[in-house]
Structure 1
Amino acid sequence: MTEQKIEEYKGPAGGWGALRSVGKALLKQEIPILGAKTLLSANQPDGFDCPGCAWPDRNHASTFEFCENGAKAVAAEATARRVTAEFFAGQTVTALAAHSDFYLEDQGRLTEPMVYDAATDHYKAITWDDAFALIAKHLNGLPDPNQAIFYTSGRASNEAAFLYQLFVREYGTNNFPDCSNMCHEPSGSGMRESVGVGKGTVTLQDFEQADAIFVFGQNPGTNHPRMLGELRQAAKRGARIVSVNPLRERGLERFADPQNKLEMATGGGTAISTHYFQLDIGGDFAFVKGMMKHLVELQDQGLDVLDTTFISEHTLGFDALLNDLRAESWSLLEAESGLGVAHMRAAADVYREAKSVIACWGMGITQHQNSVATIQMITNLLLMRGNIGRAGAGLCPVRGHSNVQGDRTMGIWEVPPVALLDSLKRVFDFEPPRAQGFNTVESIQAMLDGRGKVFFALGGNFAAATPDTVQTWKALRNCDLTVHVTTKLNRSHIVHGKEALILPCLGRTEIDMQACGPQGVTVEDSMSMVHLSMGINPPASAMLLSEPAIVARLAAATLAGRSKTPWLWMVEDYQRIRDKIEAVFPDFKDFNARIRVPGGFRLRNTASERVWATPSQKAVFKTHAVPTDTPLRRARARKGDAIVFALMTTRSHDQYNTTIYGNDDRYRGVYGQRRVVMANAQDIRALGFKSGDWIDFQTVWDDGQERTARGFKLVEYNIPRGCVAAYYPETNPLVPLSAVAANAGTPTSKCIPVLMLPHKSPVAMGV
């Protein structure tokens, strides 16, 4: 285990540190030779799509198309370690619950289906047929299909997701909570109203032509490392890169490309951000509105800074926004952003001096109460100068898991479009349910109050990923049956229902052999590129099934005698599934032919063509007042500004979503530990603490429930006063179930009002 220490990291992101980390990951999983071969097949035309993030591939044909965290994800999946029936026989579930999340996933790949035995508190082996029969018994025994909840992870392929939504809708419900509900739901909600599509409008080629790139609320060095390659190239050709983020993140400051011989030989790197604005947590809305106000003031002074022709021909609602911006108070914008007028004017000047501008954002934008309005403000900013629908410009929500966007495209959505339901009815000859289903937070509440009886998860780690941990765990334990399709052991298998199943599946790196031969699946990245993924490694166990096969066999068992869909026939050859996808979705015309082209194909994005799929057939400027009635403001009014802090939950560098690869956060200088809180040095002293002291968090909320997370070490960090950051899932217990984004329902995990109180027993907390 790494020594526990806090040590400033002074090098660039990437570079030798990244290469050493990749080598360490391969050796740790005991696959040095196989692992190297596997990595070279990542994101290749004849290989597999990385199971990590959804950042697109530059050309899908180079020999080196993986990043540090992608390598960790591949190594974790291709590990030689195995979790067998003998492993479960040796430990009760109660004993497993005492272990860390890192320990659980680090045990290796699951090898056979397991069922929970309440009498012995052990998981034991079960046959696939018996497992499907048990699930079917529970599902068919429910008086109402809406008492079943079907979660989806962004790892699921297009083929698996399509079959899954088809099965669940034939079963009779639209209860489709998914990981989008917890991350980029506000991006889709905000953009659809403004420009008619919920997906990013740019391609990688636009990054080659942008004069300026704005990065809001995002840490690509850890969460999307391959994005740093695009930012590096843009910086080297003179594009201005503006980072807007409360934390100073090393990847946004300097990056050394591991494929660049000079940077590796000299230990140097490329400066990324030309401007870095450290605003208060939640201050993005006011900051962007200040940028727009500055542009309007310049226009009113007679300067030609707005694209009035574009505004007149393509948009509605600008006059209302114009009046609102003219009336807005600079003092309010300063107070709510945490930055001065000069900062907002400087950012706006970068924007107006650039011919083509891309705006990127991550969950630092989406996981707030007013995230939808903030995204619409960013959209307004681009619309003001016609920066949507032309080369080098556009909106770029940077999504997380590798196929989270494809899952939504395939119909994993609790709010199903009428056109989708009509197509399913036409192609598969059944009447789909029309009522809206539960999203993630609604599903937790439904399980808590008894309206949700069966919980089925296609991938993911629901118990660790979700907010309000105490309530979520109560909800899962309240179920009659919980089922998890997975590759590795995780917390969700330990926090289970009265009956529980673990169904192990093939990973992205593994050969998927079906009746008609080896199969490939498809995925869609953040920029709407769809391409084929073919596993190359032998399966970790002969008893593993693919996700499409699991869904098809479950559907056949559950819907026996009442479904006209040829479930088992479709999974004999995934081309048959893709033919059905093409029949349902017009954008997938000639699906099987188009994915044979290296790199695949791009789905149509109407906004990038300046075709606005809104009711008015125009892009819409959305006007919003600066939000001041926020949970943070209310908490500070009750408790005092000096002691209520805005907590943002964040990932470490040794982490992807809830998967913990190790206890280091190299770029932030944290080693061998995770229970740390990054805070401003002046705040630490003002509270009477010193760096290295231990504290407990307590949420300040108005529902009467006590929410605490205990034992965090204070670390001085470059973060604005009143703001703190700590890792999840350790801080998820602090996020109230009712703390969600307006008009999107996403947990507001990036801005939780908390107190920091003395902790008395730091030694017991370990890592």
Structure 2
Amino acid sequence: MENEKQPSKTNNDALHFPKAENPFRLSDLRRAPVENWAAGIPAVKAAFADLMEEKTLIRGTRALFKMNQVDGFDCPSCAWPDPDDERSPLGEYCENGAKALAEEATSKRVTPDFFAEHSVYALSKLTDYEIGKMGRLTDPVYLPPGGTHYQRISWEDAFHKIGTHLNALASPNEAAFYTSGRTSNEASFMYQLFAREFGTNNMPDCSNMCHETSGTALRPTIGIGKGTVKLEDFYDTDVIVIMGQNPGTNAPRMMSALERAKRNGAQIIAINPLPEAGLMGFHNPQEIRGIIGGGVKLADKYLPVKINGDMALLKALELLLLQLEEQHPGSVLDHRFIEEKTTGYEAFVEALRTADYTLTTLAEQCGVEVDDLKAAAAMLAFKKRIIFCWGMGLTQQPNGVAMIREILNILLLKGSIGIKGGGVCPVRGHSNVQGNRTMLIDEKPTDAQLDRLQEFFGFNPPRKQGYDVVRTIKAMHAGDIKVMLSMGGNFLSATPDTNYTAAAMRKLDLLVCVSTKLNRGHLIHGKESLILPTYGRSDKDIVGGQLQIVTTENSMGVVQYSKGMLDPVSDNLLNETQIVCRMAMSTLGERSVVDWKTYHGSYDAVRDAIEQCIPGFSNFNIRVREKGGFYLPNAARDEQRFAGHLGGRAPFTLTQLPDNTLQEDEYVMATTRTHDQFNTTIYGLDDRYRGIKNERRVVFMNAQDIAKAGLKEGDKVDLFNYDDGIERIAPLFVVVSYPIPQRCTVTYFPETNVLVSVNNVVEESNMPASKYVKIKIRKHDARMLKDV
């Protein structure tokens, strides 16, 4: 447990307080042409450049050809599904997947000696990009009370410390168990089992920040909080509508599906404030025509909606569809479907027709010309096979739940859900975020789910609803959460209101992070902190001399296995399931009724338990080893059976238009990621498709807004938010002129998470509304940096 190079307690760094935000410094912005297509040879070059930077070209390239293959390992990046049929022999991966693998397969190491040489304060002065490039963690380390450096600790001592802290709590509800979307099904199931046998449903997870809104909107309407399409539906559809999502960066492999859809005759409507390259065109680097040809034009119609103008746009489309139905009775709406499969149609139509808005006012509110709205409605009018896709551009709006239900209203009018080539497709982010929720990582489980756990394991799980992410932050701040365990992820940088969240985390008695790499969430710590290193998805996971498999669930409900093939970076790693089981054994001891020791040594035993506790997993160990895995049941998709409380019918939903009034000097800001980034992991400083090189501290603005504010492109500015009567400041950003609707701005996260109030949340889902933040922009005042 003793550090080989024990730092002095009088180290000057002890006088400094690590900053929660990225350093306020610029990196010399260079502009390049904005792209109107994605992928192609530049994507291939970028992918292999990262392998070279991480000094893992041979090792990493060998792994690339096994990533997303039937007998390989699942990409640690996004959750886009793999083809059910044949997979590309050249590689089933995209540029960002290759970058994720490069960081996982890196030859760089973060050892206890590294921590002895670098204080927490010194590391905090680095950017997230610099911190992430340090390499893979090799050994468990511990930060003692008042300590300035993490130091080596044995696994046994680490688990003992966790158990001691948890058992000292006055109530199990003083602990929180956070989960990121990279955690396997097996580890997620055991993690929630540990939390519930310990006695709490405090299980915040990354769904609370990305697609909780989707599940909240979908479950009461169609009876399931997931999408209703398969990948093959994209190949045989008439229209694909993409809203608030950028495939070229967020799910690049989706573009192959869009390309195939286009070649099969589908049309695509793209709805987004920014004209993203991945919405406009695609050069497939695995085909000759994608390399030397013109590629494929994707969007047949691009609608440049204002931020949070989506509801007005959807209502405009509904008005137009009703008008077209009057002109062509029985040809636009599916009245048989409406009569047999829905409820509330008459009330919905009446509300739409008697509302105090017109097509003209709706066009003004959404920022899209009437003629363009009419053209989009015409594309939908006489088609039935329609897929709506969306991302966090919708789910992180304050009225995101209502907007998704409005999408469902359109699909219900058309009878376009539960059919081949039609339905809803929330495009999930992290590779197993959907699987986490299926594995009962959920702060509000149903009684039926808890009853199954109780029947199989023999303990009575807690029934009180637990804390989600936002409630966890507030509870930590109030001193009601004293211990937090984080299974992967970077809680600090992923969450809103950075300084408020940091202050909350500093109040923890103990913070435990299970991680593969160093991140800023390890530097804003509790009074004591542990970092426990684990395997990456590509690493060989050998238990009892046998190479193990783990499982994941993709965006379309397919459960498949993943088998690593790289030698681990250290002999002192444990897999996530073993870490959970060891924490449980150290904490619960003799009072536990769960056979943690068996699950510690056998993933198959874990899957047998999952089979008994979660519907849809019959013969789990057998079916998951079949080629391509298996689909989970989906009554909305497979049977057109929707909300159970309405006899299997789907209700039309009555919604309201939002009030998007701004003060004269206010703008709406949406946070987004660069193309050189996945969630909070920063791969580089370029945003190639948007023409941004070597910088992240930029604010995209409309050219007319720039001129009206007395600014010019390249000016340095400070950004302010005043929600809750609190001044929040993000200093030192560079103005970039971009084709974005007026009064709308876009910035990158996590640099501007500091501006997102912890109280600015989505109605019903309680997610941070990071895509709708009211800000003010002022010329940079150098005094803002006086404390840096």
Q: TM-score range by the shorter chain?
A: over 0.9
Residue 262 of structure 1 deviates from its aligned partner by 2.5
Matched residue, 2:484? 455
Equivalent residue letter for 2:621: N
Residue 297 of structure 1 deviates from its aligned partner by 1.9
- In 1, distance between residues paired with 2:705 and 2:352? 34
With structure 2 as the length reference, what TM-score do the two structures score? 0.94
- In 2, distance between residues paired with 1:10 and 1:185? 32
Residue 3 of structure 1 deviates from its aligned partner by 6.5
Residue 8 of structure 1 deviates from its aligned partner by 1.4
Residue 479 of structure 1 deviates from its aligned partner by 0.6
Gaps of 5+ in 1: none
Q: Which sits farther off after the overlay, 213-222 or 343-352?
A: 343-352
Matched residue, 1:290? 316
Matched residue, 1:737? 758
8 Å CA contact 1:13, 1:254 repeated in 2: yes
- In 1, distance between residues paired with 2:115 and 2:595? 36
Matched residue, 2:718? 696
Q: 1:708-741: per-residue Cα shift (whole Å, max 9, x none)? A: 1011100110101110101000010000000000
- In 2, distance between residues paired with 1:333 and 1:251? 27
- In 2, distance between residues paired with 1:699 and 1:297? 42
8 Å CA contact 1:516, 1:573 repeated in 2: no
- In 2, distance between residues paired with 1:206 and 1:607? 15
Matched residue, 1:612? 642
Equivalent residue letter for 1:674: R
8 Å CA contact 2:384, 2:415 repeated in 1: no
- In 1, distance between residues paired with 2:49 and 2:678? 17
8 Å CA contact 1:320, 1:623 repeated in 2: no
Equivalent residue letter for 1:671: K
Give SS of 1:369's match: coil
Matched residue, 1:752? 773
Q: Sequence identity of aligned pairs in percent?
A: 46
- In 2, distance between residues paired with 1:214 and 1:148? 42
Q: Identify which of 386, 406, 412 aligns with 1:357.
A: 386
Q: 1:458-483: per-residue Cα shift (whole Å, max 9, x none)? A: 00000000000010000100110001
Equivalent residue letter for 1:573: S
Residue 673 of structure 1 deviates from its aligned partner by 0.5
- In 2, distance between residues paired with 1:731 and 1:402? 25
Q: Which sits farther off after the overlay, 257-266 or 15-24?
A: 257-266
Give SS of 2:616's match: helix
Matched residue, 2:577? 548
Matched residue, 1:679? 701
- 1:32 pairs with 2:57: yes
Residue 365 of structure 1 deviates from its aligned partner by 0.4
Give SS of 1:387's match: coil
- In 2, distance between residues paired with 1:647 and 1:7? 23
- In 1, distance between residues paired with 2:279 and 2:694? 24
Equivalent residue letter for 1:140: N
- In 1, distance between residues paired with 2:784 and 2:656? 44
- 1:710 pairs with 2:731: yes
Residue 762 of structure 1 deviates from its aligned partner by 11
- In 2, distance between residues paired with 1:136 and 1:687? 56
8 Å CA contact 2:483, 2:508 repeated in 1: yes
Matched residue, 1:220? 247
Equivalent residue letter for 1:130: D
- In 2, distance between residues paired with 1:644 and 1:621? 37
- In 1, distance between residues paired with 2:138 and 2:366? 51
Matched residue, 2:297? 271
Q: Identify which of 87, 92, 97 aligns with 2:114.
A: 87
- In 1, distance between residues paired with 2:241 and 2:287? 25
Matched residue, 2:539? 510
- In 1, distance between residues paired with 2:256 and 2:311? 28
Residue 332 of structure 1 deviates from its aligned partner by 3.7
Residue 265 of structure 1 deviates from its aligned partner by 2.6
Give SS of 1:526's match: coil
Q: Which sits farther off after the overlay, 523-532 or 591-600?
A: 591-600
Q: Identify which of 650, 661, 667 aligns with 2:672.
A: 650
- 1:494 pairs with 2:523: yes
Cα distance change, pair 47–308 in 1 and its aligned pair in 2 (3 A): same
Q: Identify which of 144, 153, 165 aligns with 1:138.
A: 165
Matched residue, 1:728? 749
- In 2, distance between residues paired with 1:2 and 1:73? 23
- 1:471 pairs with 2:529: no
Residue 2 of structure 1 deviates from its aligned partner by 8.8
Cα distance change, pair 139–662 in 1 and its aligned pair in 2 (3 A): same
- In 2, distance between residues paired with 1:625 and 1:393? 23
8 Å CA contact 1:468, 1:734 repeated in 2: yes
- In 2, distance between residues paired with 1:200 and 1:617? 20
User: CA RMSD, aligned part only?
Assistant: 1.6
- In 1, distance between residues paired with 2:656 and 2:746? 24
Cα distance change, pair 391–534 in 1 and its aligned pair in 2 (3 A): same
- In 2, distance between residues paired with 1:360 and 1:11? 20
Residue 4 of structure 1 deviates from its aligned partner by 3.2
- In 2, distance between residues paired with 1:359 and 1:685? 37
Residue 339 of structure 1 deviates from its aligned partner by 2.0
Matched residue, 1:46? 71
Report how many aligned residue pairs link the two structures.
756
- In 2, distance between residues paired with 1:760 and 1:478? 32
Matched residue, 2:415? 386
Equivalent residue letter for 1:747: P
Within-5 A mapping of 1:193-592: 193-266=220-293, 268-304=294-330, 305-328=332-355, 329-330=357-358, 331-515=360-544, 517-592=546-621
With structure 1 as the length reference, what TM-score do the two structures score? 0.97
- In 2, distance between residues paired with 1:302 and 1:621? 25
- In 1, distance between residues paired with 2:279 and 2:67? 25
Cα distance change, pair 398–517 in 1 and its aligned pair in 2 (3 A): same
Gaps of 5+ in 2: 1-25
Q: 1:385-431: per-residue Cα shift (whole Å, max 9, x none)? A: 11001100010000000000000000000000111100000000000
8 Å CA contact 1:218, 1:364 repeated in 2: yes
- In 2, distance between residues paired with 1:216 and 1:276? 10
Matched residue, 2:12? none
Residue 764 of structure 1 deviates from its aligned partner by 7.5
Q: 1:12-67: per-residue Cα shift (whole Å, max 9, x none)? A: 21001101101101100001111110000101121100000000012464321000
Matched residue, 2:652? 622
Q: Which sits farther off after the overlay, 56-65 or 653-662?
A: 56-65
